[in-house]
């Protein structure tokens, strides 16, 4: 039953993204905000930053109109320098100036929340779909493996959204 509920939740979130991709918000309407995808990692300084940068570009390339955020449950004071350097060297913008703490509002408003190894006990339950990507290694352990796994998971998520849009 839990799997069915999670599937329905993901299907709803995917449908919101698909509808948004087909019908851009009206200029100045403020009420037709695109769906939000929130990437979270413990420190908000590495995994969530990489994932949000990769997802933003892939979504844009595929015509998905989404709002992409990153946050941490216990944020570091700055984005990991190795992450910022890696993104810039590969032609990506660093999606945040500094890590920020995930908020109750994030949990209440995000349509899809991707947790990359977070302990969410101090946050309220999410309203949207929660995906746990706990198989992503820490960049400090093996940066190349973490980067590859994040790219793989982001690509899968974008493709899932595209497939759902076509239904």
Higher pLDDT, 37 or 163: 37
> What's the confidence (pLDDT) of residue 110?
96
Stretch 101-117: mean pLDDT, rounded?
97
Stretch 111-129: mean pLDDT, rounded?
95
Is pLDDT at 21 greater than 50 in this prediction?
A: no
Q: Is 36 helix (H, G, I), strand (E, B) or coil?
A: strand
Q: How far apart are alpha carbons 21 and 28 in whole angstroms?
A: 17
The sheet carrying 67-72 orders its strands as 67-72, 36-41, 112-115, 129-132
Neighbours of 9 (CB within 10 A): 18
> What's the confidence (pLDDT) of residue 132?
97
Least confident of 8-12, 45-49, 57-61: 8-12
> What's the confidence (pLDDT) of residue 12?
52
Q: How far apart are alpha carbons 77 and 80 in whole angstroms?
A: 9
Stretch 144-149: mean pLDDT, rounded?
98
> What's the confidence (pLDDT) of residue 151?
98
> What's the confidence (pLDDT) of residue 19?
37
Is pLDDT at 18 greater than 90 in this prediction?
A: no
- Confidence tier at 14 by pLDDT (50, 70, 90): low
């Amino acid at each position: 039953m839990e799997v069915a509920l999670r599937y329905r939740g993901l299907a709803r979130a995917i449908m919101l993204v698909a509808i948004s991709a087909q019908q851009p918000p009206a200029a100045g309407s403020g009420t037709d905000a695109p769906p939000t995808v929130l990437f979270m990692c413990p420190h908000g300084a590495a995994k969530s930053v990489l994932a949000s940068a990769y997802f933003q570009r892939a979504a844009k390339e595929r015509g998905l109109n989404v709002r992409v955020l990153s946050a941490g449950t216990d944020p570091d004071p700055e984005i990991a320098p190795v992450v910022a350097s890696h993104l810039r060297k590969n032609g990506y913008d660093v999606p945040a100036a500094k890590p920020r703490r995930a908020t109750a509002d994030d949990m209440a408003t995000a349509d899809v929340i991707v947790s990359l190894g977070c302990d969410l006990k101090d946050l309220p339950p999410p309203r949207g779909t929660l995906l746990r990507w706990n198989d992503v290694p820490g960049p400090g352990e093996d940066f190349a493996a973490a980067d590859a796994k994040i790219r793989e998971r982001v690509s899968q998520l974008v493709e899932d959204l595209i497939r759902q849009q076509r239904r």
